[in-house]
Structure 1
């Protein structure tokens, strides 16, 4: 075998070794991500935490103009939760904001929860869930069937 062939063989072996290490690293990262997701749930199947973050912002919304919106970023576990966990998830959000005037002065009782549950069921993988106290209460079925899912307009009140 010539020196050039030996060099080419050595380079190919080095590249194969690097590829094997990269594959092992990717597999380890995937296992770590799966373990983290599993650790996010308790043994009972409930999430340890449902809300990654939430903050009030003002948004210009059709039918309303400028209104307060609570932008909720759910945890990965919350994005996969079943309907049996919505009470726990909403309670966590409530505990975070129950003394905030934008929450306590809500004139549409039940609307914030309805919007929250609609996001859980209808658009769980949307990056942020925006829920607004100004929106009217509508039925669960109506909230899911609106052309602007989970975001009822004033004209939708009573649906």
Structure 2
């Protein structure tokens, strides 16, 4: 064998040995060892999950006394406006508020329309209802910001009542004038109005009178007075609505 061939074979053997060694260290997907896992600071950095940001505005609890009840309202921000001539106040909160009471025997009932009935010993004594569109925020600071909840809080739902004989119909009729903030208000305002009406006029504490009242609250908010008659038949809420709040036996 020529010397040149010997040299060439030696070089080839060295190249082959280098290739085998390289595959052994790095792994070639055919059973060799896998590449070593990263160690040190880089590996530790990738394995640590980022911490969630801290809440910049923790919930705040604000208490306001209404009808002798300490009503607690919890939200990121709560602003209570000054009391108006009719006794109502505007409550503005950031986001959806939560409610509670700090008065023994008092509780709250939240309705699907976002209104809230405040009860004491089971009797409605106040109501929170979504404010009329365009009403300013508490403190008169202008239109509410996006995500704000603006509510009207009140405890006087009934302006006046008067009995009269309605000729040509069936007998006595009670003209009920609700407070302006109750007209078009949420379900909680009807709770409060019904309770105060029954206390002032016990004749209204019947199924037919309550259904007539609810019918007017729902369908005739702008009517000057809501006329309720105790002699009208009890046909249920749907029947009362179908009769335009004036059910008859015929």
> Is this a same-fold pair by TM over 0.5?
yes
Residue 150 of structure 1 corresponds to 245
Note the 1:3-152 alignment, pairs <5 A: 36=84, 40-41=88-89, 43=91, 44=128, 45-62=152-169, 64=170, 67-98=171-202, 103=203, 109-146=206-243, 149-152=244-247
Q: Cα–Cα, structure 1 residues 41 and 141, in superposed 2: closer, same or farther, change >3 Å?
A: farther
Check conservation: 1:72, 1:130, Cα contact below 8 A: yes
Q: Cα–Cα, structure 1 residues 48 and 110, in superposed 2: closer, same or farther, change >3 Å?
A: same
Check conservation: 1:56, 1:71, Cα contact below 8 A: yes
Unaligned 5+ runs, structure 2:
1-82, 92-127, 129-151
Q: CA deviation at 1:50?
A: 1.2
4+ aligned runs moved over 4 Å, structure 1: 35-39
Q: Give the secondary structure class of the aligned counterpart of 1:134.
A: coil
* More helix as a share of residues: 1
Check conservation: 2:184, 2:218, Cα contact below 8 A: no
TM-score by length of 2: 0.39
* Whole-Å separation in 2 of the counterparts to 1:141 and 1:85: 20
* More strand as a share of residues: 2
Q: Cα–Cα, structure 1 residues 47 and 61, in superposed 2: closer, same or farther, change >3 Å?
A: farther
Q: CA deviation at 1:37?
A: 8.3
Check conservation: 1:41, 1:77, Cα contact below 8 A: no
Unaligned 5+ runs, structure 1:
1-34
Q: Cα–Cα, structure 1 residues 53 and 153, in superposed 2: closer, same or farther, change >3 Å?
A: same
* Whole-Å separation in 1 of the counterparts to 2:195 and 2:201: 10
Q: 1:30-80 CA distances to partner (integer Å, 9 max, x unpaired)?
A: xxxxx8589525754443211111011110244x3xx11110111111112
* Whole-Å separation in 2 of the counterparts to 1:37 and 1:53: 16
Question: What is the root-mean-square deviation in Å for CA atoms of aligned residues?
Answer: 2.5
**Greater RCO (CA < 8 Å, at least 6 residues apart):** 1
> Of the two, which has the highest radius of gyration?
2
TM-score by length of 1: 0.59
Q: Give the secondary structure class of the aligned counterpart of 2:176.
A: strand
Q: Cα–Cα, structure 1 residues 144 and 138, in superposed 2: closer, same or farther, change >3 Å?
A: same
